[in-house]
Amino acid sequence: MTHPCDTLRAVVWQDDQLQLLDQRKLPFEQTMIAFDNASDVTKAIKDMVVRGAPAIGITAAYGVVLAAKKAYAQNPQNWTLLIETEMQQLLHARPTAINLVWALKRMRACFSGLTGDPVPALLAEAQRIQQEDVEANYRMGELGAALLPSFCRILTHCNAGALATGGYGTALGVIRNAFTAGKIMQVYADETRPWLQGARLTAWELRQDKIPVTVIVDSAAAALMRQRLVQWIIVGADRIAANGDVANKIGTYNLAVLARQHGVKFMVVAPTSTLDMNLTDGNKIIIEERGADEVITMAGQQIAPHGVAVWNPAFDVTPAELIDILVTEKGVLEKPTTASISAMMNR
């Protein structure tokens, strides 16, 4: 089953290799990079060739397939021992996105039941993980879009689209579905400093599907809301604690505070694989800090004084009380709480 505006896959298994669309080169160059070993897949995740929590998890799952292929060729009897180093490298590629941990646990759960060559069964599992993600995105797109009014104007942050997932997208899945239903008047995309995922990736994705998009600098969001130019903010998530606190791209918390001040609704869209029920609240989420070069350089040009100190957290945490709607493939929660999330997860 395919949906309108579903034309893009950034993670592809083809010719016995993993192929990733290099998101560092978008929007000006569309380059697929082929990977035949797990170590290079780990580096691709670290270097943000691929990014977005669901896409990272799916990529790691395919990395396990490549690691198993290598290990089985070296020692068919002890491949599960040989694979362990590369499993750990994948696990620690990026610390904040829970989907990475979730996907690796799911792949590891297959090991004990395997006899002979493990690659076909592990590949089938990785492909299931990707397909299930796409189907979850379709479902979330329907659920989220149903909540939006006609002639809706939306602000989104970072990139939570096909590029960040197995396909179709989480936040952009809602936008795609609503656009197909004739509900979308305008989408605004924060540029999302410092890596510019909004300006480079979200704007590119939406233009591919002819969805009207306007890029704004992150600091223009308050003025946009003050002028009543948006009714909803819709974002994805990299990790959600058991109480509904959400870790997402740095700047998301800003938007949630501004939304509350201006009477704008705030929606988070994420599959249940993004929920970390082992963390009671967002204070326990590990926040990745990245290098200074992302902040003090742009397109290879230095834009700040040499030697200046830089703080570059990749994510922030939005408290659950600032979230109006949480959409997962299992349903919609208004004002998510520990109790309502637990009930949803146990359905």
Does 319 sit behind a cis peptide bond, omega within 30 degrees of 0 on the bond before it?
Answer: no
Q: How far is CA 8 from the centre of its chain?
A: 15
276 is catalytic: no
DSSP symbols for 34-95: EE-SHHHHHHHHHTTSS-SHHHHHHHHHHHHHHHHHHHHHH-TTSHHHHTHHHHHHHHTS-S
Residues 190 and 282 in one domain: yes
> Which parts of the chain are beta strand (E)?
11-14, 17-21, 32-35, 152-156, 184-190, 213-216, 232-235, 239-241, 246-249, 265-269, 275-276, 297-298, 301-302, 315-318, 325-328, 331-334
**CB contact set of 112 (below 8 Å; sequence gap of 6+):** none
The answer to the question of residue 4 being in a domain is no
Catalytic residue among 238, 245, 276, 316: 238
Give the residue numbers spanning the domain of 220. 141-345
109 part of a folded domain: yes
Interval 6-21: pLDDT, tens: 878 999 999 999 999 9
Enumerate the β-bridge partners of residue 316: 248
Cα–Cα distance for residue pair 171/168, rounded to 1 Å: 9
User: Full-prediction pTM beyond 0.85?
Assistant: yes
Per the listing, tokens 């977005």 go with 52
For residues 170 and 128, membership in a common domain is answered with no
**158 and 51 both lie in a single domain:** no
Cβ pair 193, 16 in contact under 8 A:
no
| 205 and 284 in a common domain | yes
Output the six-digit token pair for 138. 């379709």
> Hey, what are 273's tokens?
């694989």
Q: Say how many domains are in the chain.
A: 2
Of 81, 114, 135, which residue constitutes the final position of a domain? 135
- Distance in angstroms (rounded) separating the CA atoms of residues 12 and 158: 22
Give me the amino acid identity at 1. Answer: M
115, 197: one domain: no
Indicate if 52 and 108 belong to the same structural domain. yes
49-100 pLDDT, tens digit per residue, is 999 889 999 999 999 999 999 999 999 999 999 999 999 999 999 887 788 9
- Helix axes of 38-46 and 53-74: crossing angle, nearest 10 degrees: 160
215 and 339 assigned to the same domain: yes
Count of all residues that appear for the chain in the document: 347
Residue 331 shares a structural domain with residue 202: yes
Last residue of a domain, one of 135, 158, 186: 135
Domain of 125, CATH number, reads 1.20.120.420
Q: Residue 223 and residue 162: Cα distance in Å, rounded?
A: 29
CATH number at residue 228: 3.40.50.10470
Q: Which long-range contacts (CB under 8 A, 24 or more apart) does 20-29 make?
A: 20/44, 20/49, 20/50, 20/59, 21/50, 21/163, 22/49, 23/48, 23/49, 23/50, 23/51, 23/163, 23/201, 24/48, 24/49, 26/163, 26/200, 26/201, 26/204, 27/200, 27/201, 27/203, 27/204
Tens-digit pLDDT string for the chain (347 aa): 567 778 789 999 999 999 999 999 999 999 999 999 999 999 999 999 999 889 999 999 999 999 999 999 999 999 999 999 999 999 999 887 788 999 999 999 999 888 899 999 999 999 999 999 999 999 999 999 999 999 999 999 999 999 999 999 999 999 999 999 999 999 999 999 999 999 999 999 999 999 999 999 999 999 999 999 999 999 999 999 999 999 999 999 999 999 999 999 999 999 999 999 999 999 999 999 999 999 999 878 999 999 999 999 999 999 999 999 999 999 999 999 999 999 999 88
- 127 vs 149: CA distance, rounded Å: 35
Give the number of other CB atoms < 10 A from CB of residue 25.
13
